[in-house]
Amino acid sequence: MNKFIDTHCHFDFPVFYDDIANSLSLAHQAHIEKIIIPAVARWNFDVVAELANNHHQLYCALGLHPLYIEEHTEQHLLELKQKLKTASRCVAIGEIGLDDYMDNPQPEKQEAFLIAQLKLAIEFDLPVILHSRKTHDKLSALLRRYDVPRKGVIHGFAGSLQQAEKFIQQGYFIGVGGTITYERAQKTRRAIASLPLECLLLETDAPDMPVSGFQGEPNRPERIQNVFSQLCDLRQGSPEVIAEQLYLNSLQLFQLKDNTSSLS
């Protein structure tokens, strides 16, 4: 039986948090054994850490997302550092990165906060979960300047083969999500079809990044099955081999144990 790790799911959002038992049950039925919940701002550090502490199949990442750059402060960076010292189920710094697609992006502040968090990843020996919209080249250059030993993943990748290869050459994984389920996303579909399987991770970004056929609905972890099915259609190789490699990639990057057990 194929098993999966959703390496990026905002499980603290109300659509899941308000019905935890059912949400975990549905994920279990879809053979999702582990879910990583990235924080986005200081206001959800505590809840994502609490979720990871209270449910053995959940893990968290802690970071300050560029979409919330307006509200981030230097104090929040200090609080992030303190939280990293005590969050035993934190497996990455994230979600962090750059975004030039938003209104009022404040690129200088975004870059300063990203650099500060890359330095924390180096200090705490953690990988990074990286958000990048319209910023792949800028991000790649920053990652060369601030070399994170544990590397990380370019989350929700929607770029070209050349951009993906540049990140892979730097040691980073590519996050594969709902984008590939859309026929119009030919550039990204071609890239994901061509990249080494050893460099890919599965993710949903739920409740965001809906898969084709479910537009207008909150995305859900169990729809990782839709992403996986599309990935298998795009690539050569048996679904069993593809699923096993994706699972191993996730264990490797986030240093997770393969302690398969029934989800409660």
User: What CA–CA distance (Å, rounded) separates 252 from 26?
Assistant: 25
Residue 221 φ/ψ region, left for φ over 0, alpha for ψ in the -120 to 50 degree band, beta for the rest: alpha
For residue 154, the tally of other CB atoms under 10 A from its CB is 29
> How far apart are the C-alpha atoms of 196 and 20, rounded to whole Å?
35
Amino acid at residue number 255: Q
Check the annotation: does 205 bind a ligand.
yes
| 105, β-bridge pairs | none
HSE, CB side, 13 Å, CA atoms: give it for residue 52: 24
Dist. CA 183–CA 1, nearest whole Å: 28
Residue 155 among known ligand-binding residues: yes
Q: Is 28 marked as binding a ligand?
A: no
- 56 in a labelled binding site: no
CB 231 within 8 A of CB 176: yes
Terminal-residue alpha carbon distance, the chain: 19
3 state SS of 37: strand
Extract the tokens encoding 234: 């795009």
**Which residues carry a binding-site annotation for a divalent metal cation?**
8, 10, 95, 131, 155, 205
**Which residues carry a binding-site annotation?**
8, 10, 95, 131, 155, 205
